[in-house]
Structure 1
Amino acid sequence: MNAEHARPVGRGAKVRAAVHAATLAELAEKGYATLTVDGVAQRAGVHKTTVYRRWKDRESLVVDALAGHVAADIPIPDTGTFETDLRALARALVRMMTAASARALLAAVFSDAARLSEVAEVRRQIFDDRLRRAEPVVTRAVSRGELPAGTDAAEVIRSLAAPVYLRLLMTVEPVDEAVADQAVRVTLAAARAGAFSPTGLSAPGPLVVHG
């Protein structure tokens, strides 16, 4: 289907969402070097003149498509205990990152488009935003006395997310709830032991002597 004769998808927010999705899909499939406004327009079902009215070139289009995902809403659990909060957060991360849209986003931010300084900055913003939004899970646990004082919330969330991203980006292994639950067990044990607190040690417990 020719891009100039694509069926319109609507105006305003609907057009922007369709073009953003098409841009990420094109990046994931073809890379930045061969991405064209014509290709994006055809995939989005809009005329290329519609794209050019909103974005002056492909660079601004790519940056805007990526930046549009920075503020994506992430539900933050508040179940009353750190363990169940952590499990809910890990499973939500797996569901989110295995969705087609998230896979396209990851492929895009780690594609050859990352050579653009603007894209590299958006990638940093995306991951910083994810950490910031999840930190209340840790700070609440500290206030309840479940974790040592001074526990670094960002480091806890990094520990939780690392196995998921490792499998998605490096080893290309399946990612499911079992992976999420294993990440929870490791992160939970480390956090309770004070691995993420300034001293690296939790408060001393009772001495156990084994005969």
Structure 2
Amino acid sequence: MERTRSAVMRAATDLVVEGGPGALTMDAVVLRSRVAKTTIYRHWKSRDDLLATVIEASVPRLPEPEPDADVETSLRVVMRYSVNSLRDTEWSRLLPAFIMLSRHEAEIRAINERMDWQHNRVLAELVQRAAAEGIVESGIDVDEAIAHLQGPLMIAFLAGLMPIDDRIADSIVDRFLAAFGPSAAAKPRTPAAGPGGDA
């Protein structure tokens, strides 16, 4: 039973990676996995159910921080893990479809929410530890901090602006620490410029 399930999952994942969600049909899975359609339906009630299982299995989970590890090192480990996830062939090709489907499909949206919750929890814990240890300002806005850590990497990946490697992970952490370090808290924040260039 486990071999059968693995064969179906491998076939379904390959189909989505190669051709996007539209390439995943039960007939295509049967052809590629050589598992009977009746057997597949014993495990998954529908094609959408199988697609959700494929995506759920592919979603990366950030590593839980070591309680005794240096918080800056832990930030770098987490950001490098995020980089490696985006360099993974399967996940990098599934991610755009995952983002699109999460806007329209309730089951995929729920997977996205669970992923966001886990990622945000890990990053929030590290930001709070950094604040407690005086590495960043004590009154830091945790949600804003998470956006500064995750946003630049996702934009660079989706826009193809630069190589996704450990250097960008370390650069994001360096810029984050510079922007939110204790000395930065004493500097007045410059208001964003309006459309006409005025602050």
TM range (shorter): 0.7 to 0.9
Residues 1:132 and 2:115 aligned together: no
Alignment partners' CA distance in 1, 2:64 and 2:74: 11
Task: Provide structure 2 residue ranges, at least 5 long, that are not aligned to the other structure.
Answer: 188-199
Which residue matches 1:150? 139
> Which of 158, 161, 164 is 2:150 aligned to?
161
> What amino acid is aligned across from residue 116 of structure 1 in structure 2?
E
> Which of 171, 183, 191 is 2:180 aligned to?
191
Task: Provide structure 1 residue ranges, at least 5 long, that are not aligned to the other structure.
Answer: 1-10, 195-200, 205-211
> Which of 83, 87, 93 is 2:72 aligned to?
83
Q: Alpha carbons of 1:34 and 1:105: their partners in 2 closer, same or farther (altered >3 Å)? A: closer
Alignment partners' CA distance in 2, 1:82 and 1:113: 32
Judging by fraction of residues, say which structure has more helix. 2
Q: Give deviations 1:135-190, integer Å, cap 9, x for gaps.
A: 22112112222222232334323311222211222236420111112111111112
Report if aligned partners of 1:21, 1:101 keep a CA contact under 8 Å in 2.
no
1:58 deviation in Å?
Answer: 0.7
Q: Give deviations 1:79-100, integer Å, cap 9, x for gaps.
A: 6444322222211211122112
Which residue matches 1:28? 17
Identity %: 28
Q: Alpha carbons of 1:112 and 1:119: their partners in 2 closer, same or farther (altered >3 Å)? A: closer
CA RMSD between the two structures: 3.0
Q: Alpha carbons of 1:154 and 1:185: their partners in 2 closer, same or farther (altered >3 Å)? A: same
After TM superposition, the score normalised by the length of structure 1 is 0.71
> What amino acid is aligned across from residue 141 of structure 2 in structure 1?
D
Alignment partners' CA distance in 2, 1:128 and 1:41: 35
Number of residue equivalences? 187
Which residue matches 1:177? 166
Q: 1:7-22 counterparts in 2 under 5 A? A: 11-12=1-2, 15-22=4-11
Report if aligned partners of 2:79, 2:170 keep a CA contact under 8 Å in 1.
yes
Q: Give deviations 1:60-80, integer Å, cap 9, x for gaps.
A: 111232234558462425564
Residues 1:96 and 2:85 aligned together: yes
